[in-house]
Each structure stands twice: as C-alpha cells, then as structure tokens.
Chains A and B, each alone.
Chain A
Amino acid sequence: EVQLVESGGGLIQPGESLRLSCVASGFTVTSTYMSWVRQAPGKGLEWVSVIDSGGSTFYADSVKGRFTTSRDNSKNILYLQMNSLRAEDTAVYYCARGSPGNRYGSRFDYWGQGTLITVSS
C-alpha cells in the first residue's frame, strides 16, 4: 500500500529555516516524480517543487532560491529544505507522488496528510 507521511512542521520565525520530511512506503521515491504542494489557510493549492526520477528539480518562482527539494534514496524519504522563510510561506505542505509513466506533470495519485508551517514572530 502506498503511503506518504510528512513531518517537520511547526511555528517558526521569519527568516529562519526548516526541513520537512516525507516518508514514502509501498513504492520507491526514485521510481517516479515527487512534488511538494502547499495550501495557505483558506486558500487554494499551490505547486512548490518537483524532483524527477533522475534527480532533476524545478521550483515555483515564489520559492526559487530559498527552497530545495532532495531525497534520500536509501531511506525512501523526500525532503523540502526551506530557508529565509516568510509569513507568506505559512501553509499546509503536502508531498505528492506523481503517477508513474511520465518524467513530470500534474498527475498526483497519492498525497500525504500534510504538515502545517506557520511563519510568524
């Protein structure tokens, strides 16, 4: 059974850093593309980043240069390193599995439960 479990959320001050983890089970994170998607309170979904099976990454302009997506293949974990956090980064962060078969896309067949990041002083 495919499962994604995020962790690492919490309250953090502007300018600080935080790393989110997404533990995957039931498949290997290198077998398909994986994305982070966030949702600010009361708002819609916003795509954040993708890492493809080969390890290439792309980012939304809103986080480019501040966030880094990586993975630990041996532990089957996806990470999101977030630096220079801002109030507008406050959101629930989901990791999502891209449906196997494409290098990347917007077809996410499994989602984690999400972890809340609150950036506030």
Chain B
Amino acid sequence: QSVLTQPPSASGTPGQRVTMSCSGSSSNIGSNPVNWYQQLPGTAPKLLICNTDQRPSGVPDRFSGSKSGTSASLAISGLQSEDEADYYCAAWDDSLKGAVFGGGTKLTVL
C-alpha cells in the first residue's frame, strides 16, 4: 500500500487532455513539493515535473502539474502515442523522514 494514492489507470485518445491525481497527507504533499516521473516500458524513470509545477529542461509544455492542499495533479494536453507510460508522483514525507511514491498510473493512449 503506497503512502501516496494514484488511480491505477487512465486513458485518452490522441489530442485529448488527460489528468491524473495523487492524494497524500499533511506530512508529505501538504508540506513539500511534488515531483512526477514518467517511466516508459523497460526504462528508468524520468523526472517530468519538479517542484509541483515546473518542467525540467526538455519536457514539452504539454505536461503540467499543480497542487491543492494534500492532493496534486498531472495534466497532459495534446495527448500523443508516445505518452503511453507509467506515471508516478513523489514527495518527501516529514513524518516518515523519507521520500514516498504513489503506486503509479498506467496511461493508455487509445
């Protein structure tokens, strides 16, 4: 059972906008930045969104992040087939004194 809760799956058609959620608590998302990772099959995770709503260099502006209270969201607009991947949210947890990940959301592009 992951500390951060993500829906196991999401889907959309090319060109659509999809969002995925990440729910936590006051000790993690509520008090620390959220980071999002994209993991393509058979590869290491890649930092997609940092500090809740910032895009590292090279990440398309189709990807965006936000946070409200103890929940965060990742949005992907103009969905493309290459976006099909697993997406994980993460945050530092002040109570556990460790990083915590969500269980991941598998995105399918129909």
Question: Which chain A residues have a beta carbon within 8 Å of chain B's beta carbons?
Answer: 35, 37, 44-47, 50, 58-61, 94, 99, 104-109, 111-114
Contacts and interface: CB of A to CB of B under 8 A. Distances in A.
A25 B68 CA distance: 37
Nearest to A94: B44
Given A44-B2, A47-B100, A106 B45 contact: no
B47 A44 contact: no
A105 B86 CA distance: 21
B65 interface: no
Interface string B73-110: 00000000000001010111000111111111000000
Contacts of A59: 98
B88 A45 contact: yes
A106 B91 contact: yes
A19 B60 CA distance: 38
Contacts of B45: 37, 45, 94, 108, 111
A99 B44 contact: no
Contacts of A113: 44
B18 interface: no
